[in-house]
Amino acid sequence: MEMAKIWLSSGQSCARPGRLAGIGIGIILLSAFASSANLLPSAALAQARAADELLIIAHRGASAQRPEHTLAAYELAIDEGADYIEPDLVATKDLVLVSRHENELSDTTDVASREEFEDRRRDKMIDGQRVAGWFAEDFTLAELRTLRVKERLPTIRPANVRFNGLYQVPTLEEIIQLVRAKQAETGRSIGIYPELKHPNFLLQEAGIDMVDLLLKELRSAGVGASDPVFIQSFEVGVLQRLNQRSDYALIQLLHPQGGPADEPDMRYAEMQTPSGLAEIAKYAEGIGVSIPKVVNPDGSATALVADAHAAGLLVHAWTLRPENAFLPQSMHRPGGDSAWGCHNKVMAALLAADVDGVFADHPGSARELIGATTTGWCAAE
């Protein structure tokens, strides 16, 4: 099975049992840690992981079916059985956390067509790259509310275009309210899995402290460390600060290339070695990595999952996407980039690799594929 193409996402002692005691992972009962405090972290981790299925994390909501990071996308993901929904968080000028994939707004909203905001266009150097556009940190929440969301990938997901203009940019507070409403409706545990976007840049550029904002908003909403929450970042310092100031479960994201924006001397490749993973386990409960980091081109598992588990870390892989555009050529089906390919083979490889969770753009399909090796047209080899 060819897995060479990267599935793009454009997400002290070893992991402490108490951190994961209340994390509701659907039917993966990490609350087992609470009654296993005498176990070594790695043993408690193995006990929890053996409970049942892998975790389905709705990547930006049901983003294959609705414009990403909208309440509609999050609700659909929950309805399809996602264990967690993933909001990417940026901040407004008046210090409100809102959900966008990037702080630059033109790819996912109609801001570029709004004459009243023409003078807000800026050029900024973000994490070493020059970016031109309109940025969330230059708008108040009231101003953002006048914008409408649009589909980010219209040629790959043309069916989502019909929803352009219908939705506003949601706040973290609204997302938490939605989750609570759906928990009351369904009677099941539903988690949030926020990613802090460019926290070092925002602190240096705009004086916005994402750690302070996130902790304040979570506590104000009554969301504690015993609730189903993972907090993720590609940066290191932000997670270390969160580790010092809270007991929320933390996930270190590891990009296939480069290194953390806040630690220019560190490389993600080195962080994925056994010694690097041991360092991550001092402040985080898991890692989030791209699928090719856990699955070889032939479909076999790399050593990363076993190495991470040995360090007491969970492994969440990103991103499972159904369309041909995101799959290797050998998994394509007729119909062009927007047609669905054989993503069931990717799921089969992830299950064999023993990952603990997967970020998925179509959480309903991902849920259906657990335990299955075919989807009617794509028989496993």
Parse the chain into domains and list their residue ranges. Answer: 17-103+169-369
- Two tokens, residue 343: 């993503």
Residue 14 has pLDDT above 70, yes or no: no
117-124: list long-range contacts, CB under 8 Å, 24+ apart: 117/143, 124/205
Q: What is the pLDDT of residues 264-280, one digit of tens each?
A: 999 999 999 999 999 99
Residue 44 has pLDDT above 50, yes or no: no
pLDDT at 371: 65
Rounded to whole angstroms, what are the CA distances from 87 to 173, 174, 186? 11, 11, 21
Nearest to 257 by CA among 2, 3, 1, 9: 9
pLDDT at 242: 98
The residue-averaged pLDDT of 50-75 equals 90
Q: How far apart are alpha carbons 178 and 72 in whole angstroms?
A: 10
Q: How far apart are alpha carbons 109 and 151 in whole angstroms?
A: 8
| Residue type (1 letter), 361 | D
Q: For the chain, give the number of residues.
A: 381
- DSSP letters, 169-218, are PPBHHHHHHHHHHHHHHH-S--EE--EE-SHHHHHHHH---HHHHHHHHH
pLDDT mean across residues, the chain: 87
State phi, psi for 235 to the nearest 5 degrees.
-90, 160
Q: List, in order, residues 6 or more apart from 108 with CB less than 8 Å away.
A: 67, 68, 69, 100, 101, 102, 149, 150, 152
Q: What is the pLDDT of residues 150-170, one digit of tens each?
A: 999 999 999 999 999 999 999
Residue with tokens 């083979």: 345
Q: What is the pLDDT of residues 359-379, one digit of tens each?
A: 999 999 999 998 665 545 576
Cβ count near 266 (within 10 Å): 15
Nearest to 120 by CA among 99, 146, 151: 146
Stretch (H or E) spanning 129: strand 129-133
| DSSP classification of residue 242 | H
Stretch (H or E) spanning 363: helix 363-369
Residue 24 has pLDDT above 80, yes or no: no
Residue with tokens 């990613």: 195
Lowest mean pLDDT among 103-117, 218-232, 281-295, 328-342: 328-342
Q: What is the pLDDT of residues 278-300, one digit of tens each?
A: 999 999 999 999 999 999 988 99
Q: Inter-axis angle of helices 237-245 and 210-220, to 10 degrees?
A: 40
Residue with tokens 């060819």: 2
Q: Which residue would you say has higher pLDDT here, 32 or 123?
A: 123
CATH topology of domain 17-103+169-369: TIM Barrel (3.20.20)
Rounded to whole angstroms, what are the CA distances from 344 to 62, 166, 274, 350, 369? 17, 32, 30, 10, 6
pLDDT at 380: 56
| DSSP classification of residue 53 | S
Q: Inter-axis angle of helices 71-79 and 172-186, to 10 degrees?
A: 20
Share above pLDDT 90 across residues of the chain, in percent, rounded to a whole number: 81
Residue 17 has pLDDT above 60, yes or no: no
Q: How far apart are alpha carbons 215 and 194 in whole angstroms?
A: 12
**28-29 and 122-126: which strand pairing?**
unpaired
Which of 39-43, 81-85, 341-345 is the most confident on average? 81-85
Residue with tokens 């309440």: 71
Q: What is the pLDDT of residues 181-204, one digit of tens each?
A: 999 999 999 999 999 999 999 999
Residue 120 has pLDDT above 90, yes or no: yes
Q: How far apart are alpha carbons 345 and 379 in whole angstroms?
A: 8
Q: How far apart are alpha carbons 283 and 37 in whole angstroms?
A: 18
